Amino acid sequence: MNTEDVHQLIDARYLEPPEPFVQTMDALDSLPDGRRLQLLLFREPHPLFKALRQNGYIYESRLTDDGTFEILIWKNAVAAVV
């Protein structure tokens, strides 16, 4: 997982729902093109994943040894051009 282009990190591991969803959506509004948002959570946020897909975002999720899901989100360049 390439974390070099991370523009902002949201550590939502100890936040109650729907706070991780709200903070992520707010952060995506100001995410520059070509940069990534990194989200840390103790679960896979499937409702968020669906919202991202519907809005032309791409994500990658990885489960680490301590049970944290590291999620990288970025704008789909093709969708942005279209």
Partner 1 sequence: MQSLLSFERAPPLWAPLRFLLTAPLFLAGAGVLMLFAGEEVFTSRWMPASLAFTHLLTIGFMLMTMLGALIQILPVVAGANLPSSRFWLVCLHGALCLGTLLLVAAFLGAAEAFPWAASLLAGAVGLFIVAAGVALWPVPVTSPTIAGIKLSLFGIAGVAGLGVSLALAIWRGWTWPLMELTDLHAGWGLAAWAGVLLAAVSYVVVPMFQLTPAYRARFSWWLPPLLVFLALIESVALWGGWSMLAKMAEWCMAGGGAAFALVTLNLQRQRRRARWDAPSRLWQGGLMAALLAFVLLPLSALMPDWVDGSVMAILFGVVLGLGGFVSLIVGMLYRIVPFLLWLDLQQRGVLSHVGKLLADRPMGVQMKMHAASVALCMMATFWPESFSRLAGLSLLVNGIWLERNLLLAVRRYRQTLSNSA
Q: How far apart are CA 72 and CA 81, in angstroms?
A: 21
Q: Applying CB under 8 A, does 4 fall inside the site for partner 1?
A: no
Residues 6+ apart with CB under 8 A from 39: 9, 10, 12, 20, 24, 45, 70, 71, 72, 73
Q: How far is the CB of 46 from partner 1 (least distance, A)?
A: 4
SS3 18: coil
Binding residues for partner 1, total number by CB under 8 A: 29
Number of residues that make up the chain:
82
Residue closer to partner 1 (CB basis): 6 or 40: 40
Pattern of binders to partner 1 over 13-52, x per CB under 8 A?
xx-xxx--xx--xx-xx------------xxx-xx-xxx-
- Which residues of the chain form contacts with partner 1 (CB under 8 A)? 13-14, 16-18, 21-22, 25-26, 28-29, 42-44, 46-47, 49-51, 54-55, 61, 63-69
